[in-house]
Amino acid sequence: MNSTNKALGLTVAGILAAGISMGANAVPEQPTQWEKCAGIAKAGANDCGALDGSHGCAGQAKSDNLPNEWVYVPAGTCEKITGGVIKAVKPAKS
């Protein structure tokens, strides 16, 4: 292996190692609480029944971002999402 290839190999290895270590730190911790966040569910991707009682099951949202459809998100997340409204908070299971 010539010195140019060796240097390139070491550079690539360093970049990969840095990327892996940065990625490990980017994973958030397990949530301790969940928020019921309304107004952000995609069509067919809601969690459980509608807030207005129009249906009682998950996956029945007719269209995206309806104000009565909701999904659980980690606490502190809902307010960061455009259109998200916190309707309830519950502790995460241990």
Shared domain check, 37 and 24: no
Shared domain check, 23 and 63: no
pLDDT in tens, 22-79: 555 667 688 899 999 999 999 999 999 999 999 999 999 999 999 999 999 999 999 9
Better-scored residue on pLDDT, 37 or 7: 37
Q: What is the mean pLDDT of residues 3-14?
A: 62
Q: What pTM value is reported for the model? A: 0.66
Domain that holds residue 46: 33-91
Shared domain check, 15 and 41: no
Shared domain check, 43 and 24: no
Query: What is the model's pLDDT at position 94?
Result: 66
**Cβ atoms of 49 and 55 closer than 8 Å:** yes
pLDDT at 20 over 60: no
Query: What is the model's pLDDT at position 56?
Result: 94
Number of domains in the chain: 2
User: Which helix H or strand E contains 38, and what residues bound it?
Assistant: strand 33-38
Would you state the structure tokens that stand for residue 41, as one six-digit string? 């569910």
